[in-house]
Amino acid sequence: MAKQKRTDTALRTKTCKQMTVMVRDYLTDNLDAKIKLDFEQHLSICPDCVSFLNTYRKTIALTKTVDSNDIPDAVRMNILTFLRKRMRRIGAFVIYVIGHFSA
């Protein structure tokens, strides 16, 4: 029974990861009907994903109300630094994958 429980947990975790990728498409109604149904079924059993979805919605609503001129310079620099680091990591990963599979 313990093995079954680990499998269920692994599947749920994978499913949650898949759900986070689809949140934007779900909110903009850009999901295929079957995928949307699967997404909503997952939401019906996963409070963590419901919380993530609600936070995502609130973030969108809040960012629409912020004027970019109102953002302090220090905050702007922190955001840009974070995004640049993230892009470098993604770029390094893409180069690794291309190099690994093209050899």
How far apart, in whole angstroms, are the C-alpha atoms of residue 93 and residue 103?
16
Same domain for 80 and 52, yes or no, is no
- Kindly state the tokens that stand for 12: 């749920």
Query: What's the pLDDT score for residue 88?
Result: 80
Q: How confident is the model at residue 12 (pLDDT cuts 50, 70, 90)?
A: low
Q: Domain tally for the chain?
A: 2
Task: Tell me, yes or no, whether 72 and 48 share the same domain.
Answer: no
Which domain covers residue 80, as residue numbers?
68-103
Same-domain pairing of 99 and 61: no
In 3D space, the residue among 23, 18, 28 whose CA is nearest the CA of residue 50 turns out to be 23
Q: In sequence order, what DSSP letters do the residues of 4-53 get, joined into one string? A: HHHHHHHHHHHHHHHHHHHHHHHHTT-S-HHHHHHHHHHHHH-HHHHHHH
pLDDT, one tens digit per residue, over 43-96 is 988 899 999 999 999 988 988 888 878 889 999 899 889 888 888 877 777 777
Three-class SS of residue 62?
helix
